[in-house]
């Protein structure tokens, strides 16, 4: 497989991950490590490599390039099954794939949910088929209804069905979906992507509005799945979110400058399969009826059509990277290179006679030397390609440390928690332990070592931005990192240096009976949806603040601002707006225009 040099790091990551995750091949006392890859077409790898030669692979469009096979290349499980099937919904996995399981598994990867919420119906009605706009709108509405009303229950049901097949230290890693589209106007705004020859004038354009709405539904579905996985009562499940990799590497469809032909140099970095723009597929006359296109098994469409909008080779490697971030720490523990196991041999501390292997000069009551904590600090250059370039302020990170440590007080199992992901910067924590309870105070003590760790880098960081990191102790491991779709866009330059100073813009004026204002900023107010600034302005304006609006941008706008606030006050309060910016951004000379 030949990849564009800009994306070769994804292949490198799956061969040798950073030392923060590295571990030797898994070994078990019984010599077994069992892994099964399950799910829908995003796990089956449709269109990547060749159709597998295993039973049922052709009917399921199960390909050699699916991410479970790439995971297996890295972990070398002694017992491995790949049973994912394109088109599967949650019930299909429960009724057709789970019966193929034959043991307790150390690792179960699964991708599911997209078919349950009718994403394929949206693609057909809005892009693939020459249908009227009303059909596209109806498909979008139907998908959101499924997301709102059924996805949480379906996800829990599948997790509960898989739970009994986990070994004592086994984990489930649920691979989420990534947002397909870049939403800049060009080049896609005037294009249509019908896969069959249009008729009756219908063939929707790939507009900014359509792309934005589809991205929103994908993000909403993934967030619901992630929330359920993280809160699952089994507490042995993780969500593998590869969306940040796609966005930070310009891997979405409709990226600026993307050529019409998929083999154009400009498309080498795409993470998804798509057809050439304007390419129409031949469909036999008796199967051209639009209604017949609703069912893949009725139409018998070839995989060359059905593979569109699925991960390509680059996308698969991004999936693998996201999954291995959860799998490799578990491997280290099972292999004995991570946390101590319950029941492990302990050195005697009593005054009993020394054993035959004990040194005559060694005190029988001597305690073993405590293992020194190992801290690994993430930095702007920890991974090439953007996977570890996210950052947030120290105060924002400390606030989330307090919240996380309070939640896990007394816990003694693996778990993962994400906070404030809907804000400009979210935070994700991991606790890895086996029967070693951790207290709130101990958690804070250890994580503060990560918060204040120093990394080696030539990149200037005058605002003391924090990237997170990992601490390994004798009893447990803790890890923290910035998270969230917006965060991946927080780059200030090509060398991934962070913002060097806060920036802001403020405009205000009076409108006969009131003052109105807009404030934009970056490098401050990472979280909280501007509530502290809202209180500040309202207090200064004598409680007259009204029409307050605050929103984080999905990406920095054209001027580099990350958020925008607006509102109105009684006349004569213009000084309050500049005061607020000076207070929160520490810009003493800032003035509101």
CATH of the domain at 559: 3.30.1360
Separation CA 468–CA 503 (nearest Å) = 23
Instruction: Assess contact for 504 and 581: CB atoms under 8 A.
Output: yes
Q: Is 482 part of a structural domain of the chain?
A: yes
Q: Are strands 563-569 and 546-552 parallel, antiparallel or unpaired?
A: antiparallel
Domain membership flag for residue 180: yes
* Shared domain check, 112 and 65: yes
Compute the residue count for the chain: 593
Tokens of 277: 């723009």
Check if the beta carbon of residue 394 is closer than 8 Å to that of residue 464.
Answer: yes
pLDDT for 471 equals: 92
Count the helix, strand and coil residues of the chain and give each as a percent rounded to the nearest 5: 35, 15, 50
The total domain count for the chain is 3
**Residue 241 to residue 228: CA distance in whole angstroms:** 14
Of 466, 460, 499, 498, give the one whose Cα is nearest residue 480.
466
From the list 40, 32, 160, 39, the residue with the least C-alpha distance to 106 is 32
DSSP strand pairing (476-483 vs 426-433): antiparallel
Q: Are 498 and 455 in contact (CB under 8 A)?
A: no
pLDDT at 434: 59
165 with 217, same domain: the answer is yes
Instruction: Tell me the torsion sign for CA atoms 77, 83, 87, 91.
Output: negative
CATH number at residue 480: 3.30.430
Please say which residue of 489, 517, 539 terminates a domain: 489
Residue 16 lies in a domain: no
Token pair 């004995």 is found at 336
* Helix, coil or strand: residue 265: helix
Distance between CA atoms of residues 44 and 110, nearest Å: 10
Residue 347 belongs to a domain: no
Last residue of a domain, one of 464, 489, 514: 489
CB–CB of 521/566 below 8 Å?
no
| pLDDT at residue 331, rounded to an integer | 72
Supply the pLDDT for residue 257.
Answer: 81
403 and 543 share one domain: no
> Does 383 lie in the same domain as 278?
no
Encode the chain (593 residues) as per-residue pLDDT tens digits: 333 433 444 443 443 333 333 333 333 445 588 999 999 999 999 999 999 998 899 999 999 999 999 999 989 899 999 999 999 999 999 999 999 998 899 999 999 999 999 998 898 888 877 778 888 899 999 999 999 999 999 999 999 999 999 998 899 999 999 999 988 777 888 787 877 665 555 677 888 888 899 999 999 999 999 999 988 876 689 999 999 889 877 889 988 888 888 788 878 889 999 888 766 655 544 444 433 444 333 334 677 778 888 999 999 999 999 999 889 888 777 766 544 333 322 322 233 333 333 343 444 445 556 678 899 887 765 443 334 457 788 888 888 899 899 988 888 777 778 887 667 677 878 788 756 788 999 999 999 999 988 776 667 788 888 888 889 988 888 888 877 655 545 554 555 577 888 999 999 987 767 889 999 998 888 777 889 899 999 999 899 999 999 988 877 788 888 899 999 999 888 889 999 999 888 888 898 88
The whole-number pLDDT of residue 15 equals 39
pTM for the whole structure: 0.57
- The dihedrals phi and psi of 106, each to the nearest 5 degrees, come to -80, -25
The residue with tokens 């986990």 is: 166
Q: Specify the 3-state DSSP secondary structure of 432.
A: strand
Where a domain ends, among 305, 334, 363?
A: 334
Instruction: Centre a 10 Å sphere on the Cβ of residue 530 and count the other Cβ atoms it contains.
Output: 25
Q: Report if residue 339 sits inside a domain.
A: no
| Residue 471 and residue 512 share a domain | no
| Phi, psi for residue 418 in degrees, rounded to 5 | -125, 135
38 and 146 in a single domain? The answer is: yes
Task: Please state the φ and ψ torsions of residue 316, each to the nearest 5 degrees.
Answer: -60, -40
Rounded Cα gap, residues 119 and 529, in angstroms: 31
In the prediction, which pLDDT does 150 show? 95
Using CA atoms, how far residue 547 sits from 260, 515, 518, in Å, is: 45, 11, 11
Asked whether residue 170 is assigned to any structural domain, the reply reads yes
Here the CATH number for the domain that contains residue 52 is 3.40.50.1110
Token pair belonging to 161 = 């069905």
Radius of gyration of the chain (CA): 26
The number of CA neighbours under 13 Å toward the Cβ of 53 is 0
**275, HSE (Cβ side, Cα atoms, 13 Å):** 19
189 and 69 housed in the same domain: yes
CA-closest candidate to residue 430, choices 525, 335, 510, 325: 325
Query: Rounded to the nearest 5°, which phi and psi values hold at 79?
Result: -130, 110
339 in Cβ contact with 412 (< 8 Å):
no
User: Within this chain, do residues 532 and 478 fall inside the same structural domain, yes or no?
Assistant: no
- Please identify which residue in the block is written with the tokens 């292999």: 335
The per-residue pLDDT for 16 is 38
Claim to verify: residue 376 and residue 313 sit in the same structural domain: no
Residues 312 and 259 in one domain: yes
Under DSSP, the state recorded for 372 is P
Spatial separation of the C-alpha atoms in residues 549 and 581, rounded to whole Å: 16
CB–CB of 114/43 below 8 Å?
Answer: no
315 and 183 within one domain: yes
- Tell whether 485 and 508 lie within a shared domain: no
**The pLDDT of residue 363:** 44
Flag whether 47 is in a domain. yes
Angle between helix 151-162 and 133-149 (nearest 10): 50
Tokens (6 digits) for 65: 């390039």
The residue segments making up the domain with residue 542 are 503-585
Residue 92 belongs to a domain: yes
The DSSP call for residue 237 is E
- Residue 41, pLDDT score: 95
d(CA 463, CA 480): 19
């Amino acid at each position: 497989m030949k990849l564009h040099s800009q994306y070769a790091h994804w292949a490198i990551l799956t061969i040798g991950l950073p030392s923060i995750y590295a571990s030797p091949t898994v070994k078990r006392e019984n010599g077994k490590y069992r892994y099964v890859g399950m799910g829908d077409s995003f796990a089956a790898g449709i269109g990547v490599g060749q159709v597998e030669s295993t039973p049922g692979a052709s009917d399921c469009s199960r390909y050699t390039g699916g991410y479970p096979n790439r995971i297996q290349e890295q972990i070398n499980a002694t017992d491995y099954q790949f049973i994912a099937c394109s088109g599967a919904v949650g019930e299909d996995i429960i009724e057709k794939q789970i019966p193929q399981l034959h043991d307790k598994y150390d690792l179960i990867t699964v991708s599911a949910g997209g078919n349950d919420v009718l994403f394929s119906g949206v693609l057909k009605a809005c892009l693939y088929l020459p249908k009227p706009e009303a059909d596209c709108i109806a498909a979008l509405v139907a998908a959101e209804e499924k997301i709102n009303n059924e996805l949480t229950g379906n996800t829990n049901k599948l997790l509960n069905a898989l739970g009994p097949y986990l070994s004592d230290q086994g984990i489930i890693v649920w691979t989420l979906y990534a947002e397909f589209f870049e939403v800049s106007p060009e080049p896609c705004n005037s294009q249509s992507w019908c896969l069959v020859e249009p008729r009756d004038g219908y063939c929707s354009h790939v507009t900014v509005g359509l792309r934005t709405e589809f991205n929103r539904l994908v993000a909403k579905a993934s967030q619901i799945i992630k929330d359920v996985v993280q809160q699952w009562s089994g507490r042995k499940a993780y969500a593998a979110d590869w969306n940040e990799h796609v966005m930070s590497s310009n891997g979405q469809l409709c990226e600026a400058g993307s050529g019409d032909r998929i083999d154009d140099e400009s498309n080498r970095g795409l993470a998804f399969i798509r057809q050439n723009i304007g390419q129409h597929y031949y469909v036999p006359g008796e199967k051209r009826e639009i209604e017949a296109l609703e069912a893949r098994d009725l139409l018998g469409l070839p995989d060359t059509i059905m593979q569109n909008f699925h991960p390509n080779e680059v996308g698969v490697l991004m999936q693998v990277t996201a999954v291995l971030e959860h799998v490799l720490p578990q491997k280290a523990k099972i292999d004995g290179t991570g946390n101590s196991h319950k029941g492990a041999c302990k050195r005697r501390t009593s005054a009993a006679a020394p054993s035959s292997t004990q040194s005559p000069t060694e005190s029988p009551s001597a305690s073993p030397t405590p293992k020194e904590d190992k801290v690994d600090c993430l930095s702007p250059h920890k991974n090439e390609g953007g996977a570890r370039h996210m950052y947030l302020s120290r105060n924002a990170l400390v606030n989330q440390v307090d919240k996380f440590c309070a939640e896990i007080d007394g816990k003694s199992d693996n778990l993962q928690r994400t906070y404030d992901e809907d804000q400009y910067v979210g935070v994700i924590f991991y606790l890895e332990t086996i029967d070693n309870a951790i207290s709130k105070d101990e958690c804070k003590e250890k994580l503060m070592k990560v918060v204040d760790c120093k990394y080696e880098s030539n990149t200037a960081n005058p605002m003391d931005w924090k990237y997170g990191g990992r601490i390994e102790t004798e009893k447990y491991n803790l890890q923290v990192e910035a998270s969230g779709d917006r965060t991946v866009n927080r780059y200030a330059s090509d060398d991934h240096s962070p913002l060097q100073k806060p920036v802001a813009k403020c405009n205000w004026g009076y409108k006969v009976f009131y003052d109105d204002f807009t404030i934009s900023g970056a490098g401050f107010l990472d979280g909280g949806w501007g509530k502290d600034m809202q209180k500040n302005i309202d207090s200064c304006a004598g409680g007259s603040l009204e029409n307050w609006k605050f929103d984080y941008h999905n990406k920095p706008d054209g001027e580099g601002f990350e958020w925008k606030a607006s509102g109105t006050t009684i006349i004569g309060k213009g000084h309050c707006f500049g005061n607020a910016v000076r207070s929160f951004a520490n810009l003493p000379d800032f003035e509101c225009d």
